[in-house]
Every structure is written in structure tokens, then in C-alpha cells.
């Protein structure tokens, strides 16, 4: 039987994952399928525990199911446990459900690819935001050896919660202090939804960033956000958010379909063109 995987969400219609995985299935000539599964929160546990019966070898999990998917799994990798959420599921050889989180891998791999000059040990990183995306990014940065992360969020308590989870290398600063805090930072990451088409703009003045700083955004609609445009205009290296989405998909595809897929400029162009159709 040809392998099938899916993305599970509620709603699921706007997930970008099918475009990525179907492109790879086609590119590698794999006789498999990738579906969208709209699953209500109250049905999530049963759905993932019967993944095989439902016809799947694995799945991606999107909002609002990422925490519940981790709880439902028999085993989980270190990243999923530390982040407190799963985005990728597969069945172990004995049929047991395994939960993984590939967001940190996606973020760090994309950073390495687009800003190879960046070095974790070189200095402070500033992260804007304290939601699920920020958790994955913090985990990846600390694992890579960043000595200190300045974390700032509109709602300070959410940032304090992340500091408690990730330890003393995370230092919380006030949202109002974000402009001055940029001095001395080698990397700025926007992990909020600000700047996304249809959302509020991200108000920040990046003048204090050093000249060799890298600026990264998790927002990928538009591909070049106003933050990334400002950074490029200042001559700073930029890392867009689409690459993170593409790279986080790699480990799941490899598990389910047995081929480690590549993130190429052609895939990027294909996804940009498809997202633009909305």
C-alpha cells in the first residue's frame, strides 16, 4: 500500500504543508499521498491514536493540537518535550505513536543556510514574542550554544514563563525597551505575528543593531516583511520565515516516505506562487 501522511488541524484549510509535501512526492516520484484532516479538539486524541487505522504512517500537527498531540503520544523526542508541543508524528516499527518537534531544527537550519556567517557563541540574541513559535526558537538557539537570549513580549508574564522553562540564559526585558536593547545583539528574531499581511505592523527601530547583525522573521506573508526590508536597506543580512517552514517539513517527510528531501530555490518559488493565490 502506498504511504499516506496528513496534516491535522482545526481549521486545516490554510496549512501550507500539503503544498510542500506534495511537491516532494512529485519531485521524487514517490507513490504516496499527503492529505488535510480537519479534526475537532475533542476528537484529536482518538484520531492520532488510530493513525494507522485511519490509513496514515504519520502526520503533521498544527493549531490548536500541538500540545494535545504530545500528550497523546507514547514517546517523544527531547525537542518536543522541552518545547511542550509536537508538530510531527510517526509510528515506530512496533506501531507506537512517536511525537517530534521540528520547529527548532527548521529555524536553525534555515538560519545556517541563509546567514552562514552567524555564530551562536558570538553574542546576545534578541527574540520578540513569547508564543509557541518563540518556544521552539528559544530551544534551538540555546541548544546551539547562544550565551544569552534577551526575550521581550507585549505581555511580560508570558516571557517570564518562558524564562522559567528555559533557565537563566534567558533574560526578560520590557517590550518598551526593545529598541535600546538591540545594541550589542548579533541576531534579532521576530517571533510574533506582527508584520504579517492583515495583522498589525511591528513597530521597532533597528538603528542600534550592530552592522554585522542578522535579522530574522518568522512571518512569511509577505516574504519580505517591513522588518526585513528595513534590515536590507541598512545593509544587514536577513533571514525570511518561509525557509523555516520548508526546513521543518524535512524530517517528517524522510520518516514517512524514506527519502530525505531537499529545500531548493524551485520549492521556495513553488510555495511562494501557491501562497500568493490566496
Q: Using the rule CB under 6 A, is 192 a contact of ligand ATR?
A: yes
Q: Can you tell me which of 12, 111, 130, 231 binds ligand ATR, judged by CB under 6 A?
A: 130
Determine the Cα–Cα distance for residues 262 and 27; give it in Å rounded to an integer.
10
* Active site (annotated) includes residue 36: no
Determine the Cα–Cα distance for residues 232 and 59; give it in Å rounded to an integer.
37
Find, among 66, 131, 72, the residue nearest to 102 by Cα. Answer: 66
Beta carbon nearer to ligand ATR, 18 or 132: 132
Collapsing DSSP to helix, strand or coil, 99 comes out as strand
Q: Using the rule CB under 6 A, is 129 a contact of ligand ATR?
A: yes
CA dihedral (104, 108, 109, 111) in degrees, to 10, reads: 140
Residue 64: how many other CB atoms lie within 10 Å: 13
Q: Using the rule CB under 6 A, is 32 a contact of ligand ATR?
A: no
Residues in 146-165 at the binding interface with ligand ATR, rule: CB under 6 A: 153-155, 158
φ, ψ at 152 (rounded to 5°): -135, 140
Residue 10 CB, shortest distance to ligand ATR, in Å, is 15
Q: Using the rule CB under 6 A, is 243 a contact of ligand ATR?
A: no
How big is the site for ligand ATR, counted in residues (CB under 6 A)? 14
Instruction: Indicate which residue of 66, 114, 169, 200 is catalytic.
Output: 66
Which residue has its beta carbon closest to ligand ATR? 131
Determine the Cα–Cα distance for residues 39 and 274; give it in Å rounded to an integer.
24
Angle between helices 103-114 and 132-143 (to 10 degrees): 60
**C-alpha distances in Å from residue 210, one per residue of 22, 181, 186, 202, 258:** 41, 11, 7, 20, 43
Beta carbon nearer to ligand ATR, 30 or 85: 85
Determine the Cα–Cα distance for residues 203 and 185; give it in Å rounded to an integer.
18
Beta carbon nearer to ligand ATR, 99 or 128: 128
Residue 186 CB, shortest distance to ligand ATR, in Å, is 22
Residue 157 CB, shortest distance to ligand ATR, in Å, is 9
Residue 200 CB, shortest distance to ligand ATR, in Å, is 4
Binding site for ligand ATR (CB under 6 A): 129-134, 153-155, 158, 192-194, 200
- Residues that are catalytic: 66
Amino acid at each position: 500500500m502506498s504511504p499516506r501522511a496528513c496534516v491535522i488541524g482545526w481549521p486545516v484549510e490554510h496549512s501550507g504543508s500539503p503544498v510542500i509535501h506534495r511537491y516532494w512526492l512529485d519531485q521524487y516520484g514517490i507513490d504516496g499521498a499527503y492529505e488535510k484532516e480537519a479534526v475537532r479538539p475533542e476528537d484529536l486524541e482518538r484520531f492520532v491514536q488510530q493513525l494507522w487505522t485511519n490509513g496514515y504512517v504519520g502526520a503533521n500537527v498544527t493549531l490548536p493540537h500541538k500540545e494535545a498531540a504530545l500528550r497523546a503520544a507514547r514517546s517523544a523526542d527531547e525537542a518536543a518535550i522541552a518545547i511542550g508541543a509536537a508538530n510531527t508524528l510517526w509510528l515506530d516499527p512496533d506501531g507506537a505513536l512517536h511525537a517530534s518537534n521540528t520547529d527548532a531544527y527548521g529555524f536553525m537550519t534555515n538560519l545556517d543556510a541563509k546567514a552562514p556567517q552567524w555564530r551562536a557563541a558570538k553574542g546576545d540574541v534578541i527574540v520578540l514574542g513569547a508564543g509557541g513559535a518563540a518556544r521552539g526558537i528559544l530551544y534551538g538557539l540555546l541548544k546551539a550554544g547562544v550565551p544569552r537570549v534577551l526575550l521581550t513580549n507585549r505581555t511580560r508574564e508570558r516571557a517570564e514563563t518562558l524564562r522559567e522553562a528555559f533557565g537563566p540564559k534567558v533574560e526578560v526585558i520590557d517590550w518598551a525597551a526593545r529598541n535600546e536593547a538591540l545594541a550589542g545583539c548579533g541576531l534579532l528574531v521576530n517571533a510574533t505575528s506582527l508584520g504579517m499581511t492583515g495583522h498589525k505592523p511591528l513597530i521597532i527601530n533597528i538603528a542600534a543593531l550592530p552592522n554585522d547583525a542578522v535579522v530574522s522573521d518568522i512571518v512569511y506573508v509577505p516574504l519580505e516583511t517591513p522588518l526585513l526590508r528595513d534590515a536590507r536597506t541598512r545593509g544587514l543580512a536577513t533571514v525570511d520565515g518561509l525557509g523555516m517552514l520548508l526546513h521543518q517539513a524535512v524530517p517528517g517527510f524522510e520518516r514517512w516516505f524514506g527519502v530525505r528531501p531537499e529545500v531548493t530555490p524551485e520549492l521556495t518559488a513553488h510555495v511562494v506562487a501557491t501562497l500568493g493565490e490566496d
